[in-house]
Amino acid sequence: MVVDDCKNRMIFGVTEMHNSSGTLADIDPVSAGFDIDRDGFVSYKNSLLFLPPKERGAFRLLLNAWPKVVSKEVFSKDVWAGRMSDESLARCITQLRRALSSLGVVEIDALYGQGYRLAVLSDKVRRLAAVPAMVNSRKSDAAKPHAALIEACIHARQLLEPRSLDAFSQAESILKNVIAKAPDYMVAKLLLAQYIAERAFFDGNIQRSQIDDALDQLKIVQDAEPYLQGLQSQRGYLLDCKWHFDEARVAHQQALQMFPDDDVVYYRYGWHLIYTASSAAVDAMRSAAQLNPFSPNIAIGLVRACACANMDPAEVLAQARSAYLSHPDSPSAYVALLYTLAWVDPQPEIAHAARHFVQKNRYAHSLTSRAVAYILARCGDHAGALEVIEKHSSAHGIHLAALIAMGMLDEAMIKVKAAAETGFGVLPFSLNVPECTALKQHPDYPWVHEKVFSRMPKK
């Protein structure tokens, strides 16, 4: 055993060691890489787990009780202060399983009439242990930021998930405030770089200089904590945003080597492969989905990868239906299904559903305007599509598919050339999707291609 039994008992209160199958378990949570600091935050292999308060409290109970069962009464008393419903506990455990799924080393077993128990997957732990060990980048407790600032970063990361303009704005404000108060907290700098990349891709409301500044900040993070999880992947994501695909490929491959079981690493690498028109994007997105089946963003990424790989439209539609059925509460999964339906078999009913979505859902913003404009244009509502484009007009070419669907090829090329001059943004993706294929026949396309794809990885 890597860590002494006495230490296990002292830290996690271990008295027995049995896994979910009832056989003797030889790896405990400490040896698997889990740690609880003095503020109650949980880390895995020295990387903070971004868990909301209820999920974090439940996970602490499971870790401390391992390998014993935690009863509903204990969850209610210690996490909910006695005011817990069965539904709230079940929802918390579902969310916790979702958050832990990407680690691949633990599961949470439900024991009918008893409660829940943490199971350490010994085989997975041993396989990950075979990967060369990283330099320990953990700061001392004295150098750690205040617990409230860590909570703020956890909240900011959650805000980045829905990718709405309001959430983006809140996350930016929170992260800048944390960095002002704790300039040496590298996780906050990493999350701010993620905000810049997400914004550059999803609505283009970012300047090229902001991407360069974010990359400079990641150099500081690299010097301070070179093995911080997400660092190389985030660097690759930013380099993709400024079309430096050769450097981005190196960063993504380093991330894959360092963190082979991180779903986000495969997800970002999948987008890199979509930008560079590689059919291998499908495999990368499938790997991400296998590691984290709970993410609607990954499920949608797989749909787009399948479409860009020129798979049969019926297969792409089946994938879009599967994504929506797996994530029925996700607005983005719903819009992705409508988008795919319009691409495969445009019908007036699909346009009606898109209009209804925009009217009823606050999530509708510049991100969804790209999809909604295309759905309306493809399904014959050209006036509605033009209204959406006018409302969310952007120099970054996010509405190309809608313009092309309406036969406005020259107008689309004007947008493309303007976007190409900026030197960053979503344009590589727009040029590689099948609904924009007609653009490649335009006489100005060779100039655009050279401008956008001049820095491709060497084969």
Instruction: Give all strands (DSSP E) within 13-143, no chain letters.
Output: 34-36, 42-44, 47-48, 106-111, 115-120
**Rounded distance between C-alpha atoms, residue 199 and residue 167, angstroms:** 11
The pLDDT of residue 329: 85
- Per-residue pLDDT band at 394 (split at 50, 70, 90): low
C-alpha gyration radius of the chain: 23
Higher pLDDT, 217 or 18: 217
The pLDDT of residue 143: 54
For the ranges 93-97, 164-168, 181-185, the lowest mean pLDDT is seen at 164-168
**Rounded distance between C-alpha atoms, residue 225 and residue 219, angstroms:** 10
If you ran DSSP here, which 8-state letter would residue 24 be given? B
Residue 368 burial (10 A CB sphere; 0-12, 13-18, 19+): buried
**Rounded distance between C-alpha atoms, residue 281 and residue 289, angstroms:** 12
For the ranges 7-16, 96-105, 331-340, 386-395, the lowest mean pLDDT is seen at 7-16
- Write down the pTM of the prediction: 0.81
pLDDT tens digits along 13-63: 443 344 444 433 568 888 888 988 888 889 888 778 888 889 999 999 999
Higher pLDDT, 1 or 307: 307
- Per-residue pLDDT band at 159 (split at 50, 70, 90): confident
The pLDDT of residue 260: 85
The percentage of the chain sitting over the pLDDT mark of 90, rounded to a whole number, equals 54
pLDDT tens digits along 183-192: 999 999 999 9
The whole-number average pLDDT for the span 244-273 is: 94
For the ranges 9-18, 285-294, 380-389, the lowest mean pLDDT is seen at 9-18
Return the structure tokens found at 440.
């490649």
The pLDDT of residue 294: 82
CB under 8 Å to 361, separation ≥6 — which residues? 331
Higher pLDDT, 118 or 11: 118
| Torsional sign, CA 249, 255, 258, 264 | negative
Specify whether the CB–CB gap between 225 and 186 falls below 8 A. Answer: yes
Whether residue 99 is predicted with pLDDT greater than 50 in this model: the reply is: yes
Calculated CA dihedral for residues 55, 290, 157, 370, nearest 10 degrees: -130
